[in-house]
Amino acid sequence: MMHLDLSATLNLVSTLAIVGALIFTGLQVRAANLARRDQAAVTLIQTAQSESWTRALDLIGKLPENAQAADVERVGPELERAIWDMGVRLETIGYMVFRRNVTLETVDDL
């Protein structure tokens, strides 16, 4: 059986403490990344499911499939605002996907 002197024992304890700290740090970084992803998903839901989003979807959904600019102008400024609002929100969601704050799968699930 091998006997460890005090110096070797302290080196072993120090090494184990460092390895333990690295493992703990890795777990904390992983938990922080998961929390950030979850918060981004909540932000996405808040962006996509607001009252103005629902109103915009309703107005835009009433347009014919191949609507022209004249069709939009005929309905009036409320539809134009709805299209603008929808575009800004979709741009924000697209930016969140581009920055990898949320995955495309998360957006698709909504």
pLDDT at residue 28 above 90?
A: yes
Q: How far apart are CA 50 and CA 93, in angstroms?
A: 14
pLDDT of residue 89: 86
**Residue-number span of the structural domain to which 45 is assigned:** 35-109
pLDDT of residue 2: 65
Among candidate residues 68, 66, 48, 46, the one with its CA nearest the CA of residue 57:
48
In a domain, 56, yes or no: yes
Going by pLDDT thresholds of 50, 70 and 90, the confidence category of residue 69 is confident
pLDDT of residue 67: 86
State the average pLDDT over residues 82-99: 88
Say which residues have a Cβ less than 8 Å from residue 86's Cβ, sequence separation at least 6: 53, 56, 57, 60
Number of domains the chain is built from: 1
For residues 71-104, one letter each, b for 16 or more C-beta atoms within 10 angstroms of the residue's C-beta and e for the rest, the string is ebeebeeebeebbebbeebeeebeebbeeebbee
In a domain, 105, yes or no: yes
pLDDT of residue 1: 53
pLDDT of residue 109: 78
Q: How far apart are CA 7 and CA 13, in angstroms?
A: 10
In a domain, 4, yes or no: no
